[in-house]
Chain A
Amino acid sequence: MEDPKITPELIAAHGLSPDEYQRILEIIGRDPSFTELGIFSAMWNEHCSYKSSKKWLRTLPTEGPQVICGPGENAGVVDIGDNQAVIFKMESHNHPSYIEPYQGAATGVGGILRDVFTMGARPIAAMNALSFGEKSHRKTRQLVHGVVEGVGGYGNCFGVPTVGGEVRFDKAYNGNCLVNAFAAGLADADKIFYSAASGVGLPVVYLGAKTGRDGVGGATMASAEFDDTIEEKRPTVQVGDPFTEKRLMEACMELMQTGAVVSIQDMGAAGLTCSAVEMGDKGKLGIRLDLEKVPCREQAMTAYEMMLSESQERMLMVLNPELEAVAKAVFDKWDLDFAIVGETIAEDRFLIVLNGEVKADLPLSDLASSAPEYDRPWIETPVAFPLKNAPEVDPIDGLKALIGSVNHCSKAWVYEQYDTQVMADTVRTPGLGAGVIRVHGTDKLLAFTSDVTPRYVKANPVEGGKQAVAEAYRNLTAVGARGLATTDNMNFGNPEKPEIMGQFVGAIKGIGAAVIALDMPIVSGNVSLYNETDGQGILPTPTIGAVGLIAHADDLIAGVAQDGDHLVILGETRGHLGQSALLAELEGRAEGDAPKVDLEAERKHGDFLLANRKLVRAANDLSDGGLALAAFEMAESAGVGVTIASDETAFLFGEDQARYVIATSPENAQSLLKAANEAGVPAELAGKFGGTLVDFGGKSAPLDALSDLFRNTFKTAFDA
């Protein structure tokens, strides 16, 4: 088959601007071949090159004594003591999931799991943060069913417990859902595998599933806005096979034990191209690939297709040649492909040969590091007007508006479709705050959470960015965990619009300040831009995935409130209702400023809670929905009523930060209040647990009835 001629239309169809094409001409000094054009477009699209975001990502704090490896590798590596490390990352699969929800979500999970086990870590926990359009939108129901089944279908079969996540609905996601998949793995701290190749003349080995035409051009698609031709993009979505991924993971774990691996890299976005270039560039080597040796699923695949295929469950490795037979035996055992497809070379070249014909011959280091980088114009988000006409509501009506909404009802319909306990180390399943697992065979526990409040970020990107980190920190603290580190999944609209870029810059500033103050550096992340349909951007959604350590199982806070327990609020309540859940769900208003985040108070209150964990039976972070929702959730999970003396809307539904609600025995409550007073931490006794009613200042409803509403809302909305 003749390669197409390079025309301006073809260049544009590859997502390359005329300026970017000029740059290619300067680098190689001639017109590129069709395959070369494809390779450049794969390396230089937003998804792979971070060309709009890099300038700002560099400002994020990524270091700390706990950090073994920060951003730049497949996932971040963090020390958890005893020569053990937790390796984690969060990544989006937004565009594919909107086009083909089951496979889009499934391969999102598959991709993030590979990022983790490529580094030598066995995956031990997963989370998923999902954002959908409004309940009534024609696509939402199909997306909810498809995405949730896809996440479950892949993770359940692979065998990783899904221990947390988020599910939200807002009309801003009507044309562009978000699927942010998180995975964490466990490895010995001195046995981490990196992607940098080393040594000349070493075999480059292709591992895993065969290459097909699926996903060709996927990364370019993921970097474009959507319009009504979207259905035509379905063939660019990859198809996942979790059974192959499971075998690939087990085979890699065995292979890594043999000493045969010099370096290893999973084939994710832009498949063979990105993985080979990355290994060569990091090792300052060239790579030659002989494509006729690539195991193919389909006949007559061209060099262009093989280089851009995003077929799943594949890895590329540089092999220690002395151990070739040992390595091959491992892959034979697991019935997976193992093919030497090329070698490392001394010259700085990315040489692609098919049946003796050179299809691409590019300077490798330029290909990797000369991707354009933009300092996109941005404007600061205008200061939000303070909220006027704050709502006044009967507190039970207010609570019902929240727990009867798809945003704040129980998400059991979702997480019960995920295996939350495979590996038999799950200590705390999803539902309320952070998920917790045991570090297998030790007394240590790890806690996981994922948080962001997009309404806040839109109103005030800096405070919203801080809040996402602060809420993650509080969720970890509330189970007794010390926050270790974070991963950021930045989902935004079109960065070529200065106001969108301003949201991005503001959020980065807020996140940066918060991770310093709370000592949870960013160790990995992902940026997803152009989340727009027909010019309508999503809510800015910088999802923060966070991991915390509980050094000993005895330090876990995992109780449930008991009849007679007192309810203590830690932190100061001022009654901030701007951008609150109550305002949104009751009146459909997204008005006012986001709550201010006092990072010093966050740290102080978190430290206080950890220091006094023995006085705490159960704790819950206070975030959207305020005290009313948090207290209800605690009561509901415990099956006991709750009474709060106040019926004031602002007190019950305000979303002031740096607060926790605590259930503890009357004696411990007194000790806790005394300790708080001595430590200068605001704390107040606001009510108690017990009985069968939810009673806010004398206005009450039976817990059972509220519980039914809470538990059935999601099902009624999407299953009926």
Chain B
Amino acid sequence: MKAAVIVFPGSNCDRDMAVALENAGAEVTMVWHKDAELPAGVDVVGVPGGFSYGDYLRCGAIAANSPVTNALKAHAARGGYVFGVCNGFQVLTEARLLPGALLRNAHLKYICRTVPLTVATTDSAYTSAYEKGATINIPIAHHDGNFTADAETVAMLEGEDRVAFRYGANPNGSTGDIAGILSANRRVLGMMPHPERAAEASQGNTDGKGFFAGLVSAIIPA
């Protein structure tokens, strides 16, 4: 499987995401934000955590209008896989590849801690390695992770089984405890928690390993 990880000037989880993808068996290329095209033959594109352009204006707002994001939109429009973690999720909502928005955490503070998540659906490449309803512990680290959307959108996400992960103990005020969502074709995913920080035994937590393993095995042609 060929993966690409986008590098904005303020990305700081790009290497972490690439390492987790490589460990799961993917071939990874880093793509600079000024590039207008993705490498040929890429199956999945990861949008990493960090502070893309300093997160000035709004988190992810400037990134959503950068050259590489146009290529990302085209990739998604072709039915390609795209996933965004943390700042990557913010970028995907700002780019309208996913509905809703990420507001400042309800208690207004940045928060970094490992939280329990429920796997809300297994009907996606990203969640296919987990059991439905399983609890996994994954680190979060964000200031703006409070997912919000209008009632109609939330009802649609729920009705179409597009909530990927839910917080066990809501840390940031997200509507419906939503921690991660899927696009209508189930190939674009955004989530605030960081599975790449929990993907190796030496990190002391491997609950995120299934995310990458599931993705790679779902995409590799049988």
Contacts and interface: CB of A to CB of B under 8 A. Distances in A.
A152 B203 CA distance: 22
Q: Which of A153, A158, A416, A422 has the most CB of B within 10 A?
A: A422
Interface string B193-222: 010110100111000000000000000000
Interface string B5-37: 000011011011001100000000000000000
B202 A243 contact: no
B61 interface: no
Contacts of A438: 202-203
A421 B56 contact: no
B111 interface: yes
B112 A157 contact: no
Nearest to A427: B204
B203 A424 contact: yes
A334 interface: yes
Q: Which of B143, B194, B199 has the most CB of A within 10 A?
A: B143
A243 B204 contact: no
A39 B36 CA distance: 48
Contacts of A420: 112, 141
B141 A424 contact: no
B204 to A, nearest CB: 6
Interface in A143-158: 149, 152-153, 156-158
Contacts of A422: 12-13, 16, 49, 141
A5 B25 CA distance: 71
Nearest to A159: B12
Nearest to B107: A719
Contacts of A421: 112, 139, 141, 194, 197
B9 A158 contact: no
A424 B19 contact: yes
B141 to A, nearest CB: 5
A416 B202 contact: no
A608 B154 CA distance: 59
B83 to A, nearest CB: 16
B181 to A, nearest CB: 23
A157 B144 CA distance: 13
A160 to B, nearest CB: 8
Interface string A421-432: 111111110000
Interface in B123-160: 139, 141, 143
B203 A243 contact: no
A192 interface: no
B204 A558 contact: yes
Contact of A243 (B51, B112, B199): B51
A243 B53 contact: yes
A50 interface: no
A246 B10 contact: yes
B141 A419 contact: yes
A51 interface: no
Nearest to A241: B54
**Interface bracket on A:** 20 to 34
Q: Which of A416, A426, A427, A438 has the most CB of B within 10 A?
A: A416
Interface string A211-230: 00000000000000000000
B10 A243 contact: yes
Given A157-B51, A241-B54, A417-B110, A246 B12 contact: yes
A334 B9 contact: yes
B113 A416 contact: yes
B171 to A, nearest CB: 9
Contacts of B109: 149, 416-417
Given A421-B194, A424-B20, A426-B203, A158 B141 contact: no
Contacts of A417: 109-112
Contacts of B12: 157-159, 246, 422-423
B161 interface: no
Contacts of B139: 421
Interface in A548-563: 553, 558
B9 A423 contact: no
A423 B141 CA distance: 12
A419 B197 CA distance: 12
Contacts of B199: 424
A156 B144 CA distance: 13
B190 interface: no
Contacts of A157: 10, 12, 50-51, 54-55
Q: Which of B9, B49, B54 has the most CB of A within 10 A?
A: B9
Contacts of B19: 424
B197 A243 contact: no
Given A417-B109, A427-B204, A247 B9 contact: yes
A714 interface: no
Nearest to A445: B202
A424 B53 contact: no
A427 B16 CA distance: 14
A203 B55 CA distance: 35
A457 to B, nearest CB: 32
B107 to A, nearest CB: 8
Nearest to B196: A424
A708 interface: no
Contacts of B51: 156-157, 159, 242-243, 246
B91 to A, nearest CB: 15
A446 to B, nearest CB: 13
A159 B15 CA distance: 11
A347 B155 CA distance: 76
Contact of B203 (A241, A250, A415, A427): A427
A241 B113 CA distance: 25
Interface in A517-560: 553, 558
Contacts of A243: 9-10, 51, 53-56
Nearest to A162: B112
B9 A246 contact: yes
30 contacts: A149-B109, A149-B110, A153-B110, A156-B112, A156-B143, A157-B50, A159-B12, A242-B51, A243-B9, A243-B51, A243-B53, A244-B54, A246-B9, A334-B9, A335-B9, A415-B112, A416-B111, A416-B113, A417-B110, A417-B111, A418-B110, A419-B110, A419-B112, A420-B112, A421-B139, A421-B194, A422-B141, A424-B15, A424-B19, A428-B204
Interface of A: 149, 152-153, 156-159, 241-244, 246-247, 250, 334-335, 412, 415-428, 438, 553, 558
Given A246-B51, A415-B112, A424-B197, 20 more contacts: A149-B110, A156-B110, A156-B141, A156-B143, A242-B54, A416-B109, A416-B112, A416-B113, A417-B111, A418-B112, A419-B112, A420-B112, A421-B194, A422-B13, A423-B12, A423-B16, A424-B15, A424-B196, A427-B202, A427-B203
5 shortest interchain CB distances as A-B pairs: A159-B12, A243-B54, A424-B16, A157-B51, A419-B141
Interface of B: 9-10, 12-13, 15-16, 19-20, 49-51, 53-56, 109-113, 139, 141, 143, 194, 196-197, 199, 202-204
